[in-house]
């Protein structure tokens, strides 16, 4: 498993569904550089059981993320047509109708591979083309990317384990607290609590770079 924390988030362009019903070409996280924090999360498959609970939970918390100057973007290895179809299906029928944040279609599997969350057996041939010997889907990966495009947090769950969306929001709040106040966040820190002053060279270097 690659550790991307402290590194530039892998760039990509891919088709995506935005606003719940519009398919767009060449969607990229680069559009948020210098403007927004990004919570970029992967989920295994459309039309499944655990996945819609996560997508709806992110939608329910979307206003809180927006208050933190943060956009939420989802991604799976399904096609943009599959995403669109799932978005038209009512929640009580297993659909994700009402989700408005972008959902990226990683049909080439390269985004999941570059973020090192691709589950399955595959290799690259002599022409550097991906060849699979089993179904390829994404683990439940989550990445917090700052306004400079650097990954500040990553979490990867196995397929059966749904994520805590409140914890994702807490991490965003912790990063913003550190950037704005210059204090680090101790164990179990949450918004409204005090931080700790630190003189670590790495902290100083981070602040000077941002």
Catalytic residues, which ones?
51
List the one residue out of 100, 72, 97 whose CA is nearest residue 85.
97
Q: Tally Cβ neighbours within 10 Å of residue 108.
A: 12
Distance separating alpha carbons of residues 80 and 193, to the nearest angstrom: 42
List the one residue out of 71, 11, 40, 72 whose CA is nearest residue 138.
40
Read off φ and ψ for residue 94, nearest 5 degrees: 90, 5
* Contact (Cβ atoms closer than 8 angstroms) between residue 42 and residue 158: no
């Amino acid at each position: 498993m690659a550790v991307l924390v402290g590194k530039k988030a892998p760039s990509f362009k891919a088709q995506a569904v935005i606003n719940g019903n519009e398919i767009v070409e060449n969607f990229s996280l680069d559009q948020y550089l210098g403007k927004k924090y990004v919570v970029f999360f992967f989920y295994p498959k459309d039309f499944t059981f655990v996945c819609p609970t996560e997508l709806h939970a992110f939608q329910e918390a979307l206003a809180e993320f927006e208050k933190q100057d943060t956009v939420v973007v989802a991604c799976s290895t399904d096609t943009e047509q599959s995403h669109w179809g799932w978005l038209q299906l009512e929640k009580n029928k297993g659909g994700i109708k009402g989700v408005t944040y972008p959902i990226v279609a990683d049909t080439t599997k390269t985004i999941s591979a570059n973020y090192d969350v691709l589950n399955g057996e595959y290799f690259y041939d002599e022409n550097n083309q991906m060849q699979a010997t089993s179904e390829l889907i994404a683990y439940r990966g989550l990445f917090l990317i700052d306004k400079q495009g650097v990954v500040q947090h990553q979490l990867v769950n196995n397929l059966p384990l749904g994520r805590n969306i409140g914890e994702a929001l807490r991490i965003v709040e912790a990063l913003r607290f550190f950037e704005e106040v210059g204090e680090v966040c101790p164990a179990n820190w949450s918004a409204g609590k005090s931080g700790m002053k630190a003189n670590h060279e790495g902290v100083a270097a981070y602040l000077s770079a941002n």
